[in-house]
Amino acid sequence: MSILVIAEVSGGKLRKATLNAVTFARQLAAARGDTVAIGVLGAGVGGAAAEAAAFGPVHVVDAPALATCTAGTWAGAVADLAGAVGANAVAATSSTFSRDLLPRVAARLGAGMVSEVVAVTPDGRFKRPMWAGNVVATVEVKTPKAVFTVRSTEFALADPAGAPGAVAAAAVTVADDGKAKVVSFAPTVSARPDLGEAKVVVSGGRGLKDKEGWKVLDPLADLFGAAVGATRAVVDAGIVPNDLQVGQTGKVVAPNLYFAVALSGAIQHIAGMKASKVIVAINKDEEAPIFSVADYGLVGDAFKVVPEMIEEIKRARAG
């Protein structure tokens, strides 16, 4: 049997985050004696399929009905693909794409689904966070088939396979169910790297007050080529777009370096960043909970401290 990793394709290209799920699938395959294959679905995805082949055999479903991602139509295609290739497990890296789609696939396959897997245990069980990451549960899938979304922060990007895999068109016909259609998409435009992929993340909170105050983070992010993140409070206030929210109900990140500036460190925010390697917190309230998870905490006014820190970092790098 095989484990089918569902690729995420954006702008015709394979999204790097797909490779976190490949690593998960390889671990699971090693434990169970299965093989790993990658499913690339969409319209005009030949390029992405060729990219994916570096990591294993690829099954392609290229159909006009898959040009936009409506979960009902896609679920049929993914479930049929799993059937066609004899997969007993379907996995994808957790994202709004996979969270929207994979539960429907699980329902189609009669499979149990585990969300946000962070580890595979030697006895074939799975660990996943609950309660905003304050609890790690071990779960067992009771059905012959299983579906997973996996946390990118806990599984490294996969290395290419020894030899490239074959790319084959799968015998799956896709029919649009006609019940949902995408009428528009308003992309977040940003010159900064993706939150999930950045080595450094600079996050700000309500303490920065407004769009004007938020600008204090720009030169710091520039200095590291960092991604910018935010708390829910900042997103709710309309200061930054929704997809910059880090936390229990936003993105989960684990960069080498995470700056938490003028944010308190609510349980829900910490859930999204506590796996970062080095955490720096700047807050004017010495009691702020964020300090309890920070490797380096500095009590002070962000509007004063951040510009000073930028100058000091420039000096340190020059010297």
Partner 1 sequence: MKILVTAKRVTDPDAKIRVKPDGTGIETVGLEYKLNPFCENAVEAAVGIVEKGGGEVVAVTIGNDDAVNNLRTALAMGAERGIHVKATDDQLDSDLAARLLAKVFEREKPDLFILGKQAVDGDSNQVGQLVAEYLGLPQACFASKIEVAPGKATVTREIDGGLETLELALPAVITADLRLNTPRLPTLPNVLKAKRKPIAAVTPAELGVDTALKVATVAYEAPPQRKGGMKVKTVAELVDKLKNEAKVL
Ligand X SMILES: Cc1cc2nc3c(=O)[nH]c(=O)nc-3n(C[C@H](O)[C@H](O)[C@H](O)COP(=O)(O)OP(=O)(O)OC[C@H]3O[C@@H](n4cnc5c(N)ncnc54)[C@H](O)[C@@H]3O)c2cc1C
- Taking residue 40's Cβ as centre, other Cβ atoms within 10 Å add up to 28
**Closest separation in Å from C-beta 161 to partner 1:** 27
**Closest separation in Å from C-beta 292 to ligand X:** 12
Give the closest residue to 49 by CA, choosing from 164, 152, 196.
164
Window contacting partner 1 (CB under 8 A); options: 37-45, 46-54, 80-88, 301-309: 301-309
If you ran DSSP here, which 8-state letter would residue 251 be given?
B
Distance in angstroms (rounded) separating the CA atoms of residues 257 and 260 = 10
Distance in angstroms (rounded) separating the CA atoms of residues 189 and 84 = 38
Nearer to ligand X, 165 or 205 (CB): 205
Residues 235-294 that bind partner 1 (CB under 8 A): 235-236, 241-243, 248-249, 251, 256-257, 266-268, 274, 277-280, 286, 291-294
Residues 173-202 that bind partner 1 (CB under 8 A): 177-188, 200
| Cβ–Cβ under 8 Å, residues 147 and 113 | yes
Nearer to ligand X, 45 or 234 (CB): 234
Q: Which pair of tokens denotes residue 180? A: 């949902």
Q: Binding partner of residue 205 among ligand X, partner 1, none, CB under 5 to 8 Å per kind?
A: ligand X
Q: Binding partner of residue 286 among ligand X, partner 1, none, CB under 5 to 8 Å per kind?
A: partner 1
CA distances from 294 to 214, 229, 250, 271, 313 (A): 21, 16, 20, 13, 19
Judged by the rule CB under 6 A, the positions of this chain that interact with ligand X are 205-207, 231-234, 245-250, 262-264, 266, 268-269, 272, 282-285, 288, 301-303
**Closest separation in Å from C-beta 88 to partner 1:** 14
Distance in angstroms (rounded) separating the CA atoms of residues 198 and 83 = 36
**Closest separation in Å from C-beta 92 to partner 1:** 13
Strand-pair partners of 169: 60
Give the closest residue to 81 by CA, choosing from 54, 55, 63.
63
Window contacting partner 1 (CB under 8 A); options: 35-43, 44-52, 110-118, 208-216: 110-118
Q: Which helix (H) or strand (E) holds 280?
A: strand 278-283
Q: Binding partner of residue 114 among partner 1, ligand X, none, CB under 5 to 8 Å per kind?
A: partner 1
Nearer to ligand X, 74 or 259 (CB): 259
Count CA within 13 A, CB hemisphere, residue 109: 30
**Closest separation in Å from C-beta 261 to ligand X:** 7
Most distant CA atoms of the chain, gap in Å: 63
Residues 47-106 that bind partner 1 (CB under 8 A): 70-72, 75, 95-97, 99-104, 106
Window contacting partner 1 (CB under 8 A); options: 18-26, 30-38, 214-222, 233-241: 233-241
Asked if 117 is part of the footprint of partner 1 (rule: CB under 8 A), the reply reads: no
**Closest separation in Å from C-beta 167 to partner 1:** 26
CA distances from 318 to 162, 202, 315 (A): 42, 22, 5
Strand-pair partners of 127: 119, 138
Q: Binding partner of residue 301 among ligand X, partner 1, none, CB under 5 to 8 Å per kind?
A: ligand X
What is the x/- site pattern for partner 1, positions 141-180, by CB under 8 A?
Answer: xxx---------------------------------xxxx
Distance in angstroms (rounded) separating the CA atoms of residues 39 and 147 = 14
